[in-house]
């Protein structure tokens, strides 16, 4: 069964009190799990790369395009980007599979065409462990 994009949501704990607010108005998002392996080949090993199993750096990148349905959440995201806030909690609901962790707003951009809605595009990069993967 394919995952319906409509069933994917992102929420932020804007006050760091355990209460999450839905970003709302998400029109597009992507989720990337990154694995950076540790290479262990040397001159004494074969010509082929060797990777240390189950080790290395993992990270999650999330790219979002949305129309903010709440001015408070818009203000929170602008503030996180402007002030380089490290580590607010985000929840990502992928059709019932709940991912949660601390993220940093790496990129933030707003588009506001004349007589049309304001859209925002931003990239969240993980800081520390992301649970539920």
Q: What sign results for the dihedral spanned by CA atoms 66, 72, 78, 83?
A: negative
What is the 3-class SS of 30-97, one letter each residue? EEEEEEECCECCCCCCCCCCCECCCCCEEEEEEEEEECCCCHHHHHHHHHHHHCCCEEEEEEEEECCE
Does residue 1 carry a pLDDT above 70? no
pLDDT at position 82:
93
**Whole-number average pLDDT of the chain:** 85
**Mean pLDDT on 54-77:** 86
pLDDT at position 124:
93
- pTM recorded for the entire structure: 0.82
Please state which of the four CATH numbers 3.10.150, 2.30.110, 3.30.420, 2.40.50 is assigned to the domain occupying 5-131.
2.30.110
Cα–Cα distance, 86 to 69 (Å, whole number): 24
How many Cβ atoms are within 10 Å of 10's Cβ, its own excluded? 22
**Mean pLDDT on 68-79:** 82
pLDDT at position 69:
72
**Mean pLDDT on 2-17:** 75
- Residue ranges covered by each domain of the chain: 5-131
131 CA to centre of own chain: 13
pLDDT at position 33:
92
pLDDT at position 4:
61
pLDDT at position 9:
83
């Amino acid at each position: 069964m394919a995952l319906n994009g409509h069933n994917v949501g992102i929420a932020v704990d804007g006050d760091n009190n355990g209460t999450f607010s839905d970003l709302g108005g998400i029109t597009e998002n992507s989720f990337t799990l990154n694995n950076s392996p540790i290479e262990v080949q040397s001159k004494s090993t074969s010509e082929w790369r060797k990777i240390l199993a189950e080790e290395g750096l993992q990270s999650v990148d999330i790219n979002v395009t949305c129309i903010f349905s709440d001015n408070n959440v818009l203000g929170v995201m602008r503030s996180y980007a402007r002030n380089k806030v490290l580590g607010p909690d985000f929840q990502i609901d992928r059709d019932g599979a709940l991912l949660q962790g601390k993220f940093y707003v790496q990129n933030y951009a707003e588009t506001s065409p004349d007589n049309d809605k304001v859209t925002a595009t931003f990239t969240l990069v993980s800081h520390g462990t992301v649970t539920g993967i």
